[in-house]
Chains A and B, each alone.
Chain A
């Protein structure tokens, strides 16, 4: 199937077709959005601002039970994610991030939980025609209509959506709705390209990442880390909200005579993260932790997987309560060279 148009008047019908499946869509809560199953009777809407928590949480939940066990019994019960999922309204940066994180979960062992969820999920993206204040995805090889990691890309053309299938999953989703769609044709394509071009022009912040992965190892003891970290609160905001952060902790939790082993997000900005049982902490201050966050994204990940683990979504810049600005830090890194 080629690119198609969906008239916005048929939007309700379109979502009706999806309604048999589990759909996560952006839902307003207060003045922030999050991905959730829209409440009963509530229509899905693609009129939203960038959600606070990235959709990585749908494939890599903040808390996930790995298996359960009971006192006196030898068998383990490992839950298997089994439900198909459609993720609607995913920003292209977040979709790229899901793909980047996948590299880690495929690295030394295949992580069954992540990969199974990934397999069951259809990622439907929506191009950002109004990029946010801190979006800088083009600096990292993405863009407001980047298709990496998406199964289907949607672009808002005013009175209709432009639908571009990218994988088999995307195509079969479009097949379901084929009765509602019309051929986009040359005109549709042009309109879409025009919309995307205008969106790209609206991006205001940029970073020059050229050479950063190579410079970072030399800046290990540079005073810039101390300076950046001085104001840092050591909270988990920048990492928990980052679509590419993927660190987790594993804990056993007991309830009565049952227990479960589960994994949950962890953050290298926490003091506890590297704390050894002996009491020794190889990253004793926020300086080392800040340095790690930048290095992991812009140096270690590059060495291992050949790509920077940042997609320029701007969340860490937006939500850091004390204005520790990744874009500024990267500029300082370049200047320190």
Chain B
């Protein structure tokens, strides 16, 4: 029996909404794929593009960044900045040949346990379809 490929996803979740949303999904026993390594950051606006690069270099097959809905940011406008910057990062990654299915961004509030499940499912499915990430993975190159 051929084993289904299980992608590694690194998720950067904002402390105030998405992390709480993921927590809620957990406490309400919503079942969602376990491929995700969650990293809590204080705000989606704090996500540096080099976080994403480092994740991909070190073996992630997909990256998810999730924050509060526009207008709900704990710091008023952090997620607006994230939207602009990470939107351009997405363009850039695609332009240098990274499959767009490996990079997602979402808004998930603290009460959206079910949306969180959908987002994770979509992210995992997409990364699975894109296959294992070789590209500029460090181990493929020089390790």
State yes or no: do A and B come from one complex: yes
Query: Looking at the complex, which of B76-84, B95-103, B125-133, B135-143 is the stretch in contact with chain A?
Result: B135-143
A251 within 8 A of B: no
Cα distance A256–B143 when bound, in Å? 11
A80 within 8 A of B: no
Cα distance A63–B141 when bound, in Å? 12
**A63 engages B143 (CB within 8 Å):** no
Closest to A254 in B: B58
**A256 engages B142 (CB within 8 Å):** no
Cα distance A271–B142 when bound, in Å? 27
Nearest CB on B from A79, distance (A): 12
Interface residues on B, range: under 10
A255 within 8 A of B: yes
A13 within 8 A of B: no
Cα distance A260–B143 when bound, in Å? 9
Count A-B contacts at CB 8 Å: 10
**B143 engages A258 (CB within 8 Å):** yes
Residue from A65, A255, A258, A260 with most neighbouring chain B CB atoms (10 Å): A255
Other-chain contact of A63, B58, B139, B142 (Cβ < 8 Å): B142
Q: Which residues of A contact B138 (CB under 8 A)?
A: 255
Interface residues on A, range: under 10
Cα distance A68–B7 when bound, in Å? 28
Cα distance A255–B143 when bound, in Å? 8
Cα distance A256–B142 when bound, in Å? 14
Q: Which residues of B contact A258 (CB under 8 A)?
A: 143
Nearest CB on A from B50, distance (A): 15
Nearest CB on A from B39, distance (A): 16
Q: Which residues of B contact A65 (CB under 8 A)?
A: 142
Report A232-244 CB contacts with B as 1/0, cut-off 8 Å: 0000000000000
Cα distance A275–B55 when bound, in Å? 29
Nearest CB on B from A56, distance (A): 20
Nearest CB on B from A45, distance (A): 28
Report A62-74 CB contacts with B as 1/0, cut-off 8 Å: 0101000000000
Q: Which residues of B contact A63 (CB under 8 A)?
A: 142
Q: Which residues of B contact A256 (CB under 8 A)?
A: 58-59
Nearest CB on B from A53, distance (A): 18
Nearest CB on B from A64, distance (A): 10
Cα distance A253–B58 when bound, in Å? 12
Q: Which residues in chain A, 67-101, are within 8 Å of chain B measured between CB atoms?
A: none
Q: Which residues in chain A, 233-290, are within 8 Å of chain B measured between CB atoms?
A: 255-256, 258, 260
Q: Which residues of A contact B142 (CB under 8 A)?
A: 63, 65
Nearest CB on B from A30, distance (A): 19
Residue contacts A-B, CB under 8 angstroms, 10 given: A63-B142, A65-B142, A255-B58, A255-B138, A255-B139, A255-B143, A256-B58, A256-B59, A258-B143, A260-B143
Apart from A255-B58, A255-B138, A260-B143, list 7 A-B contacts with CB within 8 A: A63-B142, A65-B142, A255-B139, A255-B143, A256-B58, A256-B59, A258-B143
The 8 tightest CB contacts between A and B, nearest first, are A255-B138, A255-B143, A255-B58, A255-B139, A63-B142, A256-B58, A258-B143, A260-B143
